[in-house]
Amino acid sequence: MARIVGMNGDTAVAYAVKQADVDVIAAYPITPQTIIVEKLSEYVNNGELNAAYVPVESEHSALSACVGASLAGARVFTATASQGLALMYEILYIASSLRTTIVMALGNRAFSAPINIHCSHDDAYAVRDAGWIELFAENVQEAYDLTFQAFRIAEDKNVLFPTIVNLDGFILTHSLEGVNVFEDEEIPKFLPPKEPVNPIDPEKPVSYGPLDLFDYYIEHKKQQAEALKASYPHILKVFEEFREFSGRSYKPLKTLSMEDAEVAVIILGSAAGTVRDVVRKLREKGEKVGVVSLTLYRPFPQEELVKVLKGVKAVAVMDRSYSYGSPGAQLFMDVAATLINVRDKPLLFNVIYGLGGRDLKPEHVVQVFEHAKKVAKEGEVPEKEVWIGVRE
């Protein structure tokens, strides 16, 4: 019997982390993720969750504590956003290179300056090169579901990479929606206790994080690169097992009306649903439009994306961030690099939207599709970069 509980994104993540029975939480509160760590500290304090909650003095220390705990064999969780993620930056690469299995919730928030507490994907993109697996939730149910899947993925012996669940700041972290929750006793069927690999063991000592110069560093990096690529089919397997467990299906790419689409939008996060809603309405008018959103952002689902974009004439790649001085914002560059050697590829342009929580309304999405139709019709891209919802 399904049990629906009204929860906001933060509460849903905290509840999933509690049900995942984590051993160690080290986190520092920052808006819009604060509710997650507040809830978890309550659970620990009330005895509802038997975990070590490590109160730290900064995000740098939070992630450092998580690295140690993960290597010791613990199931570990942290959460942060924006400036907090920036302060973790040094440890992000260490966490992945040491193959820890930390799960992090990232309440996506714009980087300063100016100070803004609302949603951009700056922080999510800041991790794109760091060797973490990144998942994007599009609603509160997905934030809850993906948290369980993140633990399974990170701790899978064929994966062993730290994993982030991105949820849009405020739009998901602070919005209440109905969530179909599991009963505690069901969880081990999908997420059994962690089986540590190379745990810190005084009887069998090993050295972690040694100096590694030109004689071995590049081998270690090549190994890490190949391991993240090789994790892909195992991530799909976790998605599939989650579907069997819950009845809810997750895929690297979510598509709507892509079969015969002539123009399409590619997007991440909570705005995907708004685009889908517009696509449904435009389809009723007979327009051949479609939308792709990515649940799995790293490793990037290249082959699937090439497949779904086959036959599409123009694609608007929508970024809720900006990459200053780059040939395009982050998702745009990912998509462009994915398609670079494909014959008969669609024309691409980059849409910058929603920075700092600026609402993406249906009329904005209609504008994007109008632009895409023009590109498709004329066969050229007059403006590679289009800002939408900005006062000119």
Partner 1 sequence: MIEVRWHGRGGQGVVTSSELLARAVLREGKYVQHFPEFGPERRGAPVRAFTRIDDKPIDIHYGIYEPDIVVVIDPVLLSTNVEGILSGLKNGGYLILNTTKVPEGIARIAKEKDLKVYTVDAHKIALEVFNRPLYNTPMLGALVKATGLASLDSVLKALEERFKGEILEKNKIAVKRAYEEVVKYEV
Partner 2 sequence: MKYKTWKDLPIGAVIPEPGSSVEYKTGTWRTFKPVIDQDKCIRCLLCWVSCPEPSIRRHEENRVSVDYDFCKGCGICANICPVKAIEMVSEL
Q: Which residues bind partner 2 (CB under 8 A)?
A: 97-100, 160, 197-198, 205-210, 212, 215-216, 219-220, 222-223, 226-227
CA atoms within 13 A of residue 320's CA, in its CB half-sphere: 29
CA-based nearest residue to 12, from 125, 217, 165? 165
Nearer to partner 2, 73 or 273 (CB): 73
Tell which phi-psi region holds residue 51, choosing left (phi > 0), alpha (psi between -120 and 50) or beta.
beta
Nearest to 191 by CA among 233, 130, 238, 237: 238
DSSP string, 309-343: TTT--EEEEEESS--TTSSS-HHHHHHHHHHTT-T
Instruction: Select the binding partner of residue 98 from partner 1, partner 2, none (C-beta < 5 to 8 A, by kind).
Output: partner 2
Binding partner at 219 among partner 1, partner 2, none, C-beta below 5 to 8 Å by kind = partner 2
CA distance 220 to 238: 26
The least CB distance from residue 211 to partner 1, in Å, is: 47
In angstroms, what is the minimal distance from the CB of 221 to partner 2?
A: 8
Q: For partner 1, give the closer residue by CB, 70 or 82.
A: 82
Cβ atoms of residues 110 and 355 within 8 Å: yes
Q: Which is nearer to partner 1, 168 or 319 (CB)?
A: 168
| 337 binding partner (options partner 2, partner 1, none; Cβ < 5 to 8 Å by kind) | none
Cβ-based nearer residue to partner 2, 215 or 392: 215
Q: What, of partner 2, partner 1, none, does residue 168 touch, CB below 5 to 8 Å by kind?
A: partner 1
Residue 255 has phi, psi (to 5 degrees) of -125, 150
How would you classify the pairing of strands 163-168 and 253-256?
unpaired
273 binds, among partner 1, partner 2, none (CB under 5 to 8 A by kind): partner 1
Q: Which residue has the tokens 């029975």?
A: 21
Beta carbon of residue 230, minimum distance to partner 2 (angstroms, whole number): 11
Q: Cβ closer to partner 2: 44 or 72?
A: 72
CB of 224 to partner 2, least distance (A): 8
The CA distance from 42 to 78, in Å, is: 15
Q: Choose between 8 and 100: whose C-beta lies nearer to partner 2.
A: 100
Instruction: With beta carbons less than 8 A apart as the criterion, state whether 266 and 260 touch.
Output: no
Shortest gap between Cβ of 279 and partner 1 (angstroms)? 10
Minimum separation from the CB atom of position 174 to partner 1 (A) = 6
Report the residue number, 100 or 149, with the smaller CB distance to partner 2.
100
Residues that bind partner 1 (CB under 8 A): 4, 6, 117-118, 138-139, 168, 170-172, 174-178, 270-271, 273-274, 276-277, 357, 359-362
Helix (H) or strand (E) holding 3: strand 3-8
Q: Of partner 1, partner 2, none, which one does residue 350 interact with (CB within 5 to 8 Å by kind)? A: none
Shortest distance (Å) from residue 271 CB to partner 1: 6
Residue 135: Cβ within 10 Å count: 29
Compute, in degrees rounded to 10, the torsion defined by CA atoms 280, 286, 287, 291. 30
216 binds, among partner 2, partner 1, none (CB under 5 to 8 A by kind): partner 2
CB of 97 to partner 2, least distance (A): 7
Question: Of partner 2, partner 1, none, which one does residue 226 interact with (CB within 5 to 8 Å by kind)?
Answer: partner 2
In whole angstroms, give the CA distance from residue 391 to residue 322: 17
Strand 289-294 to strand 263-267: parallel, antiparallel, or no bridges (unpaired)?
A: parallel
